[in-house]
Amino acid sequence: MKNVPVFVGLDYHQDSVQVCVMDSSGEVLKNDSYRNDAEVIGKVVEKYGVEVRAGIESCTGAASLADVLAMRSGWTIDLAHPGFVSRMKQNPDKTDFTDARMLADLERVGYLPKVWLAPQEVRELRRLVRYRQQLVDERRRAKLRISALLRDQRVRCPHGSSTLGWRKWLKTTKEVSEETQWILKRHVRRVDGLDRDVVEVEARLIRLTKKDALVAALQKQKGIGQVTAWTIRAEVGRFDRFRTGKQLARFCGLTPRNASSGQRQADAGLISAGNRQLRSTLIEAAHRLIRYDDPWKEFAKRLLDRGKPKCVVVAAAANRWMRWLFHQMQPGSLAA
């Protein structure tokens, strides 16, 4: 019987995992909570079969456990989309017992809504890219606090933001009160420290992606610099995991959301999906393209001449550009 496949649902938590083992007929063989330990979980399941097909809900830490189980125990394991699983359940009651059983059953019948299980190296790159963005966001907030202090004192700095003159002026100006100057100096010190941190993490990203063929190929495209290439590589991972460019654009959150009903046909902005940092990065890239690249400049002009708002034009350019990039970044195209 151990050669017969079993189906496992894993409801993940930081300290424990609810493990439901189900046979091919749908009978529950085991459904209990165990310590969050791949070896413990592997030993429990191997009592019922060695051919294991498992599903685990995508959340923080789930991908790491899935990797370990796949490597150590040889499981076939899928990450499940938590939102879709919740809607498919159609039950107001939520328990770990029923969640694990639902995952096992969906895996058994082949209806588990899957998300991509990124390999370890992509997840590491993703952590670095997101950490860099956190530093940049924190630096921007510190600069906004400085601007707010100056406005509150009705003082205008004669230098541009982030220049050496701006920082020197903030440390030495007598136009603000003594306590405000004390606060400004500490804000500037924080900005200086964040600048150093950003430079350090960028140097680490350069080393990490030095031999990455996809990052190198992305940087050869117009409008893509290092940060854009890192972000696309970290969040998209592989272009060939999408069937079409349209599917990729939707993943990036660049597809218009339809709000049609009856005779009324309308769009309601971009869909609320995808990673916000990725979408922001691609929108910034589209701004550069329609400003400096002639084909995209002409594309934007046609839409603007038809009365489209600038924000709609930029989003449309980003959408079309990602669909075009999908074909350029296929493994066959890279090899060529």
Q: Which amino acid is at 327?
A: H
Q: Which residue has the tokens 């039950």?
A: 91
H or E element at residue 12: strand 6-12
- Of 91, 114, 100, 78, the closest CA to residue 22 belongs to 100
Average pLDDT value for residue range 278-300: 93
Q: Name residues whose C-beta falls within 8 Å of residue 51's C-beta, 6 or more positions apart in sequence.
A: 3, 4, 5, 6
- Residue 330: pLDDT band (50, 70, 90) is confident
Where exactly are the structural domains of the chain? 6-115, 120-208, 233-335
- Residue 333, pLDDT > 70, answer no
pLDDT tens per residue, range 142-192: 999 999 998 998 888 888 777 888 888 888 888 888 898 899 889 989 999
> Which of 1-15, 175-189, 266-280 comes out lowest in average pLDDT?
266-280
pLDDT tens per residue, range 68-108: 999 888 899 999 988 787 777 766 777 889 899 999 999 99
What percent of the chain is predicted at pLDDT more than 70?
A: 94
Q: Name residues whose C-beta falls within 8 Å of residue 69's C-beta, 6 or more positions apart in sequence.
A: 38, 41, 42, 54, 75, 77
Q: What is d(CA 224, CA 227) in angstroms, rounded to the nearest whole number?
A: 8
pLDDT tens per residue, range 35-61: 999 999 999 998 998 899 999 988 888
- Residue 274, pLDDT > 80, answer no
Average pLDDT value for residue range 252-269: 72
pLDDT tens per residue, range 229-242: 999 999 999 999 99
Q: Which residue has the tokens 């007598």?
A: 174
Question: What's this model's pTM, rounded to 2 decimal places?
Answer: 0.85
- For 119, 182, 188, 189, 191, the CA distances from 173, given in Å and listed in that order, are 51, 11, 13, 15, 17
pLDDT at position 264 is 66
Average pLDDT value for residue range 188-203: 95
pLDDT at position 212 is 93
- Residue 316, pLDDT > 60, answer yes
- Of 93, 75, 69, 83, the closest CA to residue 113 belongs to 83
- Residue 110, pLDDT > 60, answer yes
333: its two tokens: 């195209």
Average pLDDT value for residue range 129-143: 95
> Which of 8-17, 87-96, 113-122 comes out lowest in average pLDDT?
87-96
**In CATH, what number does 6-115 get?**
3.30.420.140
H or E element at residue 131: helix 120-152
pLDDT at position 334 is 67
What is the pLDDT of the chain when averaged over all its residues? 89
What percent of the chain is predicted at pLDDT more than 90?
A: 61
- Residue 2, pLDDT > 70, answer no
